[in-house]
Every structure is written in structure tokens, then in C-alpha cells.
A = this chain, B = another copy of it.
Amino acid sequence: MDQATKRELLDKDRQRVWHPFTQMKDYARQDHLLIEKAEGIFLYDADGNRYYDTVSSWWVNVHGHGHPRIKQAIIRQLEETDHIMFSGFTHRPGIELADKLLAIAPPGLGKTFYSDNGSTAVEVALKMSFQYWRHVGRPSKTKFAYLANSYHGDTLGAVSVGGVDLFHATFRPLLFDGYRLPSPLVGEWSGGRPTPEAAETSVAKALEAVKQLFETSAGEIAGLIVEPMIQAAGGMLMHPAAYIAGLRELCSRYDVHLIADEVAVGFGRTGTMFACEHAHVTPDLLCLSKGLTAGMMPLAATLCTDAIYEAFYDDYETQKTFFHGHSFTGNPLACAVALESLRIFEEEGVLDNVRAASDALRGHLPGLETFRHVANMRHLGLVAAFDLYADAASQTPYPPSERRGYQVYLEALKEGLILRPLGDTIYYWLPHCTTVAQLEDIVSRTSSVLERLGYR
């Protein structure tokens, strides 16, 4: 791209675009990075600089950018139908994807309801759960339980079950009330990586809080929502699978829907196709998006049990219809892409590569742990994270005004690396196509950045 065009575009960007989750004043004196090519794990800016997309473009990309089979799937679908409405009408990609998702999801889920993004997948789950209890004669079950540090999206229903005050506290007067449960393991890390015994104690404590809540209040709780295995936007906080297994057991015992929000963690990112598999658990409602289309375009799905579906299935006059829908529900292009992505998973041994990359990643992390200001290294599948501390031993944080994570982000860009932080937490959220050699390079570049910024 010539420099005049580049300058013109970036000026227009500053003048016309309000970017998401961004304090725009951060870009008063620096430009957004103008990307003009994307291939595999790499993004290329308008000056030809190359960047490792170590966050999979906000956790969505799966098989790398520009995968030829994904592109071909779109072109093929364009020759059949573009978008057609999905109420009264149906189409092959929408049907086949629904069927395929239920075939690979944890056993016991029966129906697929489409929407457009993670927030709407969660809103659908909340509304289904809420309405279900009305239909089965338990209308007092109207509230939801959720975890501290959870993030489930930015529409106001999803915000109501969010536990990250930075994102959500402002909107309090617009939110419905719920029960906030403690996040497992948080605050239990003091002094470094938790021992197996400490982890077990933490899980027991967190589950005890759930049990106590259900004991007194299950009669008014419709569902409990959780991000299985990793609370992602809340700081890449990981918990043992035993916590999810425990939630399943308690939800079943006390008649509360278990809603698994796998928008971020689904589709192989944790090493298994779905994160619930680590705990051998089937939720009552499963929310999917992001990786569903291999990161190509918006699509979401909420999978539910037949028991939930059947509570809505009745003569029209009984007014049990689930009145929810979005214009582009079941978009055929997006469904065709998602189907092709699942075929790639099967035919190209994607989960095998995830496991190999995950093992290699694990091998490299101790090198990063040698940095004096790095603590709480955690890792699952293609996700790894650590926190920066002024003093790691006592876990004394840096003053927030220093924005250490953000400084790492800026410095990493110079190193050809996208290390998008969450506060002072630095993480990788790698695409499934990452090779062992790329991993080595990524970790080595991360070391250089930390070295230069004086974290040794």
C-alpha cells in the first residue's frame, strides 16, 4: 500500500471509527495497526511488517488465516444460496451443522438454536432456562448464579451475569440481580503455582459455596453459568476439571441448569474439542461461537437438552413459543464455513496438532518463569498466561497507572508479536495450526521483550 493511501486511511480511522473495548485517546499519538494481509498465524501491516497473531484475533481464529478450504467453502456456498430466513424455511448447511455439532458435543444434548455471537448465545441460554421453569410450573426460579471474574458478553443480559467490575459495574442500574459465587482458586495462588493439595482444597471450598447457595436458594435459581476450565477475559484464570464435575453434580442434585459458556474455550482450544470434556460433563445448555466458524465470520449456537426443548413444544395457543430470533439466524455462509472447519478438524488431525503444540508450549514456559517479575504461570492446551508483579514473591502488583501489560503489548509489536494483555496478565491464545518451531520463536521473542523492559 502506498504511504499516501495508508496515511489517508489511518486519518479516516481516527476521524470516523470508534473501536471496541478501546480508550480512543490511547490512539491520539499512535495509529491503529493497519492490517492488509493475513496468512496462517501471521498478520501483515501496510508497511509489510509481520506479526504473530498469538491471540488468534481475539480468540476466534482456528486453522490459521486464509485457510484455502475455508475460503473455498464460502465460494461454494455463494453458488447455492446467500442468506435466507430460518423461520418457516431451512437449508442444508443449517441442518447439517446442527446435526454435526450435536454429534461431537458432550452426549445428551438434543437441539441446536442459532444466533450471531457469544453474547447472544448466552442471552438465548439465559432466556431458555428462565422460560423453561415457567413452563414446568416452577416460576419462582428466575435468578442466575455466576462466578466472580466471569465474562459472558456485553449485551445487558450477559453483562448481568458478568463478574468483572471493570467492564460491568458502570451499568449496574440496567442489570438484573443474581448470585455471585467465588471464583475457584483465585487468591489461592499466593507464593506461586498451587500444589495439587492446595488446588483440591480450593475446589472444595468453591463448591461448598455453591452448595450453601443452592441449599438456601435453589428454589429461585434457574441456572448457573460458567466458563469451563478457563475464566478467560477475567484474567485467564484456570481451575481444575474437578470443579466443573462438582458443579454438574450440584446442579443436578438441586435442579439448577448448568450453562456452559464455551464461546471462548470451545473447539479445541483447551486440548479437547469442548472444555467440558476435561470433566466428562454434559451441561444443560452449551454456548458456542468464536472458533465455530474457524474465526471467519459471526455465528453462534446454543445447544440444549431435549428436556428443555420439550417444555416449549406445545400447541401454539398455550403460548410456550420461544420468541427469540435474529435476522441472520443460521446464516448459510457461516454454517457452510463451520461445517468445513469441522471437516478439517477430522481430516487434518487438528486436535493431534493441538496436543503436540501444547506439549511444546509447556516445555518452553519454565524459561519465562525465570523472570523475576513473572508469576502464576498457567497453561492448558493452546492457552498460557502469567502475571507481572512489582514483587512476585509477595505478589505485590504494579500501580495500575503504570499499565505494565499495555507497555508489554506496545513493545511486543516491535518484536513482531501480538501480546494483547488483560491488565498486567500476559497470555497466549494460539491458533491450532501453530507449529513447534513457531512456538519456540514466539516464546523467544516474548523473552526478548521482557528482557528489554527490565523484568529479568
Contact = CB atoms under 8 A, between A and B. Distances in A.
B327 A60 contact: yes
Number of copies: 2
B176 A156 contact: yes
A19 B90 contact: yes
Contacts of A158: 155
Interface in A315-368: 315-317, 320-331, 333-334
B170 A37 contact: no
B117 A328 contact: yes
A102 interface: yes
Name, among A55, A83, A330, the residue most crowded by chain B CB atoms within 10 Å (CB to CB).
A83
A150 interface: no
Nearest to A329: B20
Interface in A281-299: 289-290, 295-299
Contact of A89 (B32, B116, B326): B32
B296 A166 contact: no
B327 A118 contact: yes
A17 interface: yes
Contacts of A313: 23-25
A119 B118 contact: no
Contacts of A58: 85, 87, 327
A167 interface: yes
A123 B155 contact: yes
A2 interface: no
A127 B156 contact: yes
A95 B32 CA distance: 11
B85 A170 contact: no
Nearest to A24: B313
Contacts of A70: 82
B33 A321 contact: no
A401 to B, nearest CB: 6
A92 B123 CA distance: 32
A116 B299 CA distance: 9
Interface in A239-273: none
Contacts of A314: 23, 25
A83 B296 contact: yes
Nearest to A46: B92
A171 interface: yes
Contacts of A24: 309, 312-313
Main DSSP-derived SS at the A contact region = mixed
Interface string A391-433: 0000000001101000001000000001010000000000000
Contact of A317 (B55, B325, B401): B401
A446 interface: no
Contact of A22 (B82, B88, B174): B88
A65 B333 CA distance: 13
A23 B81 contact: no
Contacts of A66: 78, 81-82
A126 B174 contact: yes
A90 B333 contact: no
A223 interface: no
Interface string A15-57: 1111111111110000011111110000100000000010101
A427 to B, nearest CB: 14
Interface in A131-156: 131, 134, 142, 153-156
A174 B157 contact: yes
Interface string A174-213: 1110000000000000000000000000000000000000
Interface of A: 9-10, 12-13, 15-26, 32-38, 43, 53, 55, 57-61, 65-66, 70-71, 74-75, 78, 80-92, 94-96, 98-99, 102, 110-114, 116-120, 123, 126-127, 130-131, 134, 142, 153-158, 160, 166-168, 170-171, 173-176, 289-290, 295-299, 304, 309, 312-317, 320-331, 333-334, 400-401, 403, 409, 418, 420
13 contacts: A9-B90, A12-B98, A18-B304, A22-B87, A57-B84, A82-B295, A120-B120, A127-B156, A127-B171, A155-B155, A174-B176, A297-B328, A316-B403
